[in-house]
Each structure stands twice: as structure tokens, then as C-alpha cells.
Amino acid sequence: YMVFEYMDHDLSGVLAYRSQRTADGSTGLSSGNLRPDEVKCIFLQVLRGLDYCHKHNVVHRDLKLSNLLLDKLGHIKIADFGLARIYKEGRLNQTNRVITRWYRPPELLLGTTIYDSKVDTWSAGCILAELIRGKALFPGESETEVYRMIADTLGAPCEQMWPACTQLPNYAQLNEAYQHMRKMMGASASTSSSVRQTGIGLGGSSASTGRLPASMIAADEGRFYEQRQTFRHVFSNTTESGRDLLARLLQCDPSRRLDTAGALNHGYFSEHPLACSAHSLRLSSSRSCHEFTTTNVGQATGGQKRLGAITGECWNIF
């Protein structure tokens, strides 16, 4: 037997419990969302743990809220290393049927079996988005729906934004399904064919256009892919620096995606409000909050439900 210390909460349970308490008016919080200083405290701990894993050539391959455990003092541990692998040559040649669907990066959706630790940093970006918004960013019920949500929010993958993506095994199938979905939703075929797809639609106040920060501008600018939701609109409740960190973590092209070391050094964490201390996190002291004990959380796993948040291996990141 392997016995680990009891962790009172997981992040999925904490967010769900806050939402429930807010809905019935029994908490003093104005919303179920975390404060910016709490988001930074939690995410810094996650990044430090993930950075430790990656520096020791371990890729987790199943990061999600329910696999991030908290004790009553606000200390976070990464759990469930059942899908983790050690990669010694910089890249894995492994199955792409890993990572819970909502947190699965585009390269795995598109069928690659050659990948590296950047699959974890995409998942980390999805986690940061969920902490900021209070709800999942890409909660699709199928791989096709997750791909559509990614394309609607960040721009549909294409050669200009991600060289060679069109050569990946599932590209033709998913892109065709995406274009069909857009037509079914009333998108103009003539408009979509004339609009250049250039990646993440940051900036700008318009719902369909915007200007990327200098770090994200493609070689030659053009109109952005018309999206139902722009990146700025989706993350209107965070700062420009917060959106920039999200944009860098959620790069569709893994070669351009920020790694954990780069994320830890991002200016988002040095702007006010600064991260609060772990013991200042507003956690329930009277009950434990885990995903499977909160009734309004139903995360799609792309397969069998796993309760590794309790049974999986935990790494202390402090």
C-alpha cells in the first residue's frame, strides 16, 4: 500500500463549492470567482510544481483542476501521475489519447504522437483561464467540439500561424467538421474564405477584429478570423498582462508556446495585486471540497472517469 497525507480540497471542488454558496446567498463573496491575488497564488504554485517536473524530464499528461489538491493551509500538490512519462531525448513518441479532453492541446487533437512538455503548459493555460473565469474554457463534449471552441476563441489552425499543422493526421477531418459547423451556425462562406486566419485575436474592442500585441503579430498583418468570441472579450475580467500570459500559454503551435520557466518570469506576477500568501486563500475550514462531492461539476474526461485526485501520487511543490 501507498499512503499519502489527506488533502482537504481539490481546485475543482473549491470552485464548484464557491459557486454553489454564491448561488444560494450563503457566502459573503460577490461571485464564485477567485480574486486576482488568489489566482496568482494558486497558479504560481502550480507552475513551480510543473517546472520541477519538467526540469526532471517528467511530463504529467493529465493536468486539470481535480488533480490539483489543496490542504487547509492553501498549499497545492499535483496529483495523479498515472499517465506521466519520463522523456530523456526532449520529445515523446507516445499515444495522443491522453489529457482530459477539456485540457487537451491542439497537437494531440490533430493526432500527433510526437510531443514534449508543452502539452502540459497548454493544460496549465486552460487551468489559468478557468481560475480567472470561474468556468472551463473549452468544455466540449467531443474532440470535434473542443476543436471548434479552440478555433472560435484563438483562431483556426493554419499554415500561417502553425507551419505543418495541415500535415497532422486529423487536420483534414477536424477542419472540415469545423467549417461545416460554422456554416450550420450561419457563418458566411464567402466572408470566411476571404478572411485570413492569423491566430489569437487579442486586443481591439470589436467583436470580430483586433490587434495583436507585438509579440504575437504574424509576418504580414491582415484581418483576423471572424470569431464569435474574441480573446479580449472572453477574458475581459483580467489585465492586459494576464491576457498576454494566457495568449502565450495557449499558442496552438507548441514550438511558440511558453514553457514553465518563461511563465514563472512573466510580468503578470509582478503587477499589483501581487499573489497572496497560501494561508490567505479563502478555503472552507468546515468541510472538504472535492470534485466528486460537488453536484454541479461534470467534467468530460474523454473516457473512463478517474478518481486519481484521491488515489494518485502527489508531489509536494513546496
C-alpha 309/C-alpha 291 separation (Å) is 9
| Per-residue pLDDT reduced to its tens digit, 165-181 | 999 999 999 999 998 88
Q: What's the longest Cα–Cα distance across the chain?
A: 62
Higher pLDDT, 83 or 293: 83
Three-class DSSP category at 162: coil
C-alpha 20/C-alpha 3 separation (Å) is 31
Task: Please give the model's pTM, rounded to 2 decimal places.
Answer: 0.78
Higher pLDDT, 216 or 124: 124
Structural domains in the chain?
9-151+238-316 (1.10.510.10)
HSE toward the beta carbon, residue 299, CA cutoff 13 A: 32
Active-site position among 8, 10, 51, 62: 62
Residue carrying C-alpha cell 484521491: 310
Cα-to-chain-centroid distance, residue 286:
30
Is residue 71 flagged as an active site residue?
no
Q: Distances in Å between the alpha carbon of 160 and those of 4, 70, 151, 163, 247?
A: 48, 41, 14, 6, 17
C-alpha 146/C-alpha 123 separation (Å) is 13
**Residues forming a β-bridge with 92:** 115
| Per-residue pLDDT reduced to its tens digit, 178-214 | 988 888 876 444 343 333 344 443 333 333 333 334 4
| Per-residue pLDDT reduced to its tens digit, 28-43 | 333 457 899 999 999 9
Quick one: pLDDT at residue 1?
85
C-alpha 156/C-alpha 147 separation (Å) is 9
